[in-house]
Amino acid sequence: MKLNQLYKNIPQKWVQLAAFYAVALAFILLNSWLLLEKNTLLGVVVPIAVLVLITAVLSYQRLIWLVVALTPLSIPFKWLYPGLLPVDMFIPTEPILFGILILFLFSISRGQKIGKDITRHPVSITLYFYLGWMALTTVTSTLPVVSIKYLLVHVWYIVIFFFLLTFLFKHQKNMPKLIWLYLLGLVPVIFYTIGRHFANGMHNDNAAHWVMTPFFNDHTSYGAVLAMFIPFLTAFVFSSWMSKKKRIWSGILLVIFIVAEILSFTRAAWLSLVAAIVVWGIIKLKIRFKTLAITGISIILLIFAFQNQILMKLEQNSTDSSANLTEHINSMTNISTDASNLERINRWQCAIAMFEEKPFLGWGPGTYAMNYAPFQLTGQRTIISTNAGDGGNAHSEYLGALSESGVPGMISFMLIIIVVLYTAINAYTRTNNKKLKTLLLASITALVTYYTHSFLNNFLDTDKVAIPFWGFTAIIVAIDLYTKQEKHTPETKW
């Protein structure tokens, strides 16, 4: 009785606090033992699995937001257990995404609908063509198992982070939620990466290639993601309708992201940000399409007219990539000695050679890395060339699609870009809502960074890039639908 009376006299907050620390201590001790004695991270998986199951029971919509926050922190399964599975996956996001897809299909079978305005939108129609052609070329693939996995990954990214998010974005406050939740997971990765960079020497450009592992495969995908979020942070800093507190936090994060982008030594990401600034200027200055078309055609004609002189000038550049920022920028045009640039050209030429052999159906989605080796010419190989298929892919979304799914495959991807930009610019000129204009302009410039980057790399088969890419596309479509009925839609607080 005395013990029971003593327990009743203890404040409930103290009991809860003691229970929390007891569970936390047990969790730390268990994981330490598993890591040191069994050399496994299995203990970390258990609480994540429990959290996922609880969230799934409550709402698969909450599960989507959980995935968004966890995506920057996801790691390849092969990094934990190399060679255990024939195909790799990102843990914990891809298994959760597969579960969300099953839950969504189950809810659709029970009558839930996301709306004809979404499913019949011009962007949606281009996506049907994109996925439909990918499915057809999966049937004719030279490596069907690889292509099926590649197709499935693209299906769940598009279904969940385009169609489902567009549906969730009917509530305007969910749009910035996508940005902030992704940043919640990305900021710790940035600090982790910068910390490792400091530990290995700030002037060590070689370290910049791997300090972000295992969260990102290399510095190029890391730089691409940073570039995609810089337009949003910039927009938030200069948005008068946002609270002062959020603008200050956005400013702090913007500085961190710019520093991280510089330290990533990703030349393609730097170039993509320049392209985003140009597009921002075009939209702000309201330059007509006719003027842009004439300027673009003139530039292309000049390049063709002076291609020999341009090539000779590029071949004279012998500045290799280095920790010196000026030299690193100058190395962008070095096609004579820079191994990275030369290897990229080698991959492009292989992609074109593969396309020439299978121009209509291609070799199969996701199969470039396994098929390109025989197409390498001796004179094109570099010191970093490989025949193992483990050195990346075509280094271009456009040429990758061309080699894997033929001409229709590349056209389908380019159609998505054209229709998304057309939709976004029309919606931007149509609305007078400052908040929607801000999100539209940020989404356009963020996507432009990847449209530009995708000439030099391809990452849409990875969760890190695919989720913001399709999520920002969903923002544009949702706002387009808003602006068509804006007079009847009250402005909401974010």
C-alpha dihedral sign at 210, 66, 229, 221: positive
Pick the residue with more confidence: 346 or 251? 251
SS3 75: strand
What's CA 480's distance to the chain center, in Å? 22
SS3 114: coil
Q: How much is the pLDDT for 304? A: 60
Residue 446 lies in a domain: yes
331 has a pLDDT exceeding 80: no
Residue 107 lies in a domain: no
Residue 465 lies in a domain: yes
Q: In sequence order, which residues have a C-beta less than 8 Å from that of residue 198 and are 6 or more positions away?
A: none
pLDDT digit string, tens, across residues 381-426: 777 677 666 666 888 999 999 999 999 999 999 999 999 999 999 9
Compute the distance between CA of residue 355 and CA of residue 401 in angstroms, rounded to an integer: 9
Residue 245 lies in a domain: yes
Give the pLDDT band of residue 484 (cuts 50, 70, 90).
confident
Task: Count the domains in the chain.
Answer: 1
Total residues belonging to the chain:
494
**282, burial (CB in 10 Å: exposed 0-12, middle 13-18, buried 19+):** middle
Q: Print the domain residue range for 413.
A: 116-292+390-488
Residue 481 lies in a domain: yes
Q: In sequence order, which residues have a C-beta less than 8 Å from that of residue 123 and are 6 or more positions away?
A: 162, 416, 419, 420, 423, 473, 476, 477
Two tokens, residue 177: 């939620």
Pick the residue with more confidence: 30 or 246? 246
pLDDT digit string, tens, across residues 128-160: 999 999 999 999 999 999 999 899 999 989 999
pLDDT digit string, tens, across residues 216-234: 988 899 999 999 999 999 9
Compute the distance between CA of residue 248 and CA of residue 35 in angstroms, rounded to an integer: 40
Hunting for tokens 């005395």 — which residue is that?
A: 2
Contact 328, 270 (CB under 8 A): no
Residue 429 lies in a domain: yes
Residue 25 lies in a domain: no
Residue 160 lies in a domain: yes
Assess whether the previous peptide bond of 72 is cis (omega < 30° from 0).
Answer: no
Percent of the chain clearing pLDDT 70 (strictly above): 73
256 has a pLDDT exceeding 70: yes
